[in-house]
Structure formats: structure tokens, C-alpha cells
Structure 1
Amino acid sequence: MALHKLQVDDFYDDSYKLIAIHCRLEDYRLAYLLNKHLELRLERKEQDVDFKYLESSYSIFEWDNETEYVLWNLISNVCKKEEDSLHSSGTLFGDNEKVLKTFYLISEFKKVDFFLKISEESHNFDEKSILNALKRIPQIITSYTVDPLKIKSKDHLIF
């Protein structure tokens, strides 16, 4: 009897563009500006993207443009979470200090605040026009494309 192996990597499709966005806005405010300037309809999803059993969660906005077969996702790259510090003060009733921990969705890009993931089926997407439109938004510091094949943790971009 012949043994057949199925490679799961064969089904992974890199048919999306990834744009890194640097800005200091809240996620809902950036989604509003993208909707206004790019004529999108991004809406916040009910559940955030969670990793490692609620260790970190990232807000996600989505719009499925069914007429052009394009799925738009805006996802935050930074999660700041307040946790109790683990230190011994030597007393029975010590003060519990809080520590602010920062987690990143894509750890290779720690300075990026948001990613705009554009999944397309037709491959006729003009990313230069999107980048030019993003650069015209005064609240965005900078934006640029990122090659998804060079990201080590690209599995985090599958939602």
C-alpha cells in the first residue's frame, strides 16, 4: 500500500498585499479616516484576534467588497496590557504594582502601529494609488508595503 503525504503549506495562498501604517491614532479613528479617504466600509469585528489564550488581543476591522472581490482588514499591531508585577516586597500586605506589557502581532515590525491587509482574487489591485491616498491623510506618519513572504510570523495574519 502506498503512503501519501499531504503538505499543508501547499494550500497557503499569499494572494494579499500588506501595508504597514505608522500613526498614533486610536484604531476606530484610523478606520474612520480610511473609510473617508479610501471610500471603504471598514467595520469593527465582534471579536478581536487573540493569541496564546488571551495573553494579547488585537482589534480588527473588516470589509468584504463583494463587487470587486476584495477583502480589506485593518488590524492593530500593538497590544498594551496592564498586569500585576511579580516581585517580593518582604511584607505580608505589600502594594501590588501594575506593569504595562507590550505585545506585537508581527514582532519583526515593532514600530508599526497598524497593518492594512488587502486580499484579492483578481490580482488587478493598484497599491500605488492606495499608498498615495494614505500619504494624503495628515494623521498618518508614513505607510509602505511589506512583503508577506519575508515575515516569520505570517501565520498571525490568517484570520
Structure 2
Amino acid sequence: MALHKLQVDDFYDDSYKLIAIHCRVEDYRLAYLLNKHLELKLERKDADIDFKYLESSYSIFEWDNETEYVMWNLISNVCKKEEDSLHSTGTLFNDTEKVLKTFHLIPEFKKVDYFIKISDEIQNVDENRILNKLKAIPQIITSYTVDPLKIRSKDHLIF
């Protein structure tokens, strides 16, 4: 009897483009700037991307351009959370100190602040034109494309 194997990776389609953005402004401000300069209509989703096992959440803005069959997502890569620090018991003072912990959606790109994920079904989005427009925005330090196939934690970008 013949043994047939079915690979799950055969059905996974990487039909999206990923752009990394280095920018120190707040997420809502960046969404406004992208809407203005790229003529998008990004809106904040009701629910953030939430990872319970890390207890971190990442803001996400989305626009579904139905006329051009393109889904735009602006995703935060950084989550900063204040937690109680660990200290030994039985000390003279019972002061609890707070520690600021930083989590990343894509750990391979710890210096990236935001990602733009462009899911286009008919491959009509020009990445170079988008990058040129992004580099013209004064608040953005730099932006560049990222190959989704080279990211180990690309499952975090499925939502």
C-alpha cells in the first residue's frame, strides 16, 4: 500500500508584502500620516493582536480596499508593559518596584517599530512607489521591505 504525505506548507500562500518602519511616533499618529500621504483609510480595529502566553498585545489598523482587492494592515511591533519586579522575601522594606518589559511581535526585528502588511490578490501594488512615499514622510526614520519567507515567526502575522 502506498503512503501519501500531505504537507501543510503546500497550502500556505505568502501573497503579501511586508514593509518595516522605524518611527518613534504613536501608532494613531503614524496611521494618520499613512492615510494622508499614501491616500489610505486605515482604521483601528476593535481588538488588538493579543498573545496570552506572553501577556502582550499589539495595536493593529486595517483597511480593506475592495475596489483594488488589497488589504492594508499597520501592526505595532513593540509592546511595553509595566510589571512588578522580582525581589526576595523577608527584606526589611516591602517596597515593590515596577519594571518596564518590552515584547516584540516579530523578535527577529527588534529595532523595527511598525510593519505594514499588504495582502494583494492580484499583485498590483508597487512596493518601490510606496517606499518612496514613506521616505518622504519626515516623521519616519527609515522603511524597507522584508521577505516574509525569511521570518521564523511569520505565524504571528496571520490574523
TM-score tier by shorter-chain length is over 0.9
Which residue pairs with 1:157 in the alignment?
Answer: 157
| Unpaired stretches in structure 1, ≥5 consecutive residues | none
Letter in 2 for 1:130: I
Letter in 1 for 2:72: W
- 1:90 Cα deviation from its structure 2 partner: 2.6
- 1:40 Cα deviation from its structure 2 partner: 0.2
Deviations 1:65-108 (A, max 9, x none): 00000000000000000011111153376011111000000001
Identity value in percent: 86
User: When the two structures are aligned, how many residues end up with a matched partner?
Assistant: 159
- Rounded to whole Å, the distance in 2 between the matches of 1:121 and 1:14 is 10
Letter in 2 for 1:81: K
- 1:128 Cα deviation from its structure 2 partner: 0.4
Which residue pairs with 1:70 in the alignment?
Answer: 70
Which residue pairs with 1:124 in the alignment?
Answer: 124
Query: Structure 1 residue runs of 4+, over 2 Å off?
Result: 1-8, 89-93
| Unpaired stretches in structure 2, ≥5 consecutive residues | none
What is the 5 A alignment of 1:15-54?
A: 15-53=15-53
What is the 5 A alignment of 1:105-116?
A: 105-116=105-116
Q: CA RMSD in A?
A: 1.5
Query: TM-score, normalising length from structure 1?
Result: 0.94
Q: Residues 43, 54 of structure 1: CA spacing in aligned structure 2 closer, same or farther, 3 A cutoff?
A: farther
- 1:52 Cα deviation from its structure 2 partner: 3.1
Range that drifts further, 104-113 or 89-98: 89-98
